[in-house]
Amino acid sequence: MPETVPLQSHLEMLIRELEKRIEQRFEASGTAILLGREAVDARLTLLNELRGIVTDRLGNTITRPEHDKLAGEVQELQRTQANRDGRMWVVSGSMSTIAVLAMWIISHWKP
């Protein structure tokens, strides 16, 4: 014959079991929250390190307009240098021609 238990005892036992399960779930939730918080903190630390790296790298870069301006200035300097080099060739060629003509005149001069 099955054992009979008074209804109040049975309900109290069920309530205790439910309370125990709820407490276990709260503990599990608390543990999950702590683990999640630790994971978020670790990720934020890595993001802060990445932000520092990006900031350092950006400190060594220039913007597109700055680059374009500097590239134009470099081209202008190269053009100026090329013009100067060309003028020097002309001047040295002219001086060489004058020197050769002067030597030829001196060597063929008959007083």
pLDDT band at 110 (very low <50, low <70, confident <90, very high): confident
Structure tokens at 33: 């929250």
Written as one string, the DSSP assignment of 77-100 is: HHHHHHHHHHHHHHHHHHHHHHHH
What pLDDT sits at residue 46? 94
The contacts of residue 70 (CB under 8 Å, 6+ apart) are 62
What pLDDT sits at residue 3? 72
Using one digit for the tens of pLDDT, what is the confidence trace for 51-99?
999 888 888 888 899 999 999 999 999 999 999 999 999 999 999 999 9
Instruction: Map out the domains of the chain as residue ranges.
Output: 1-61, 64-111
Amino acid at 9: S
Distance CA 67, CA 95 (A): 42
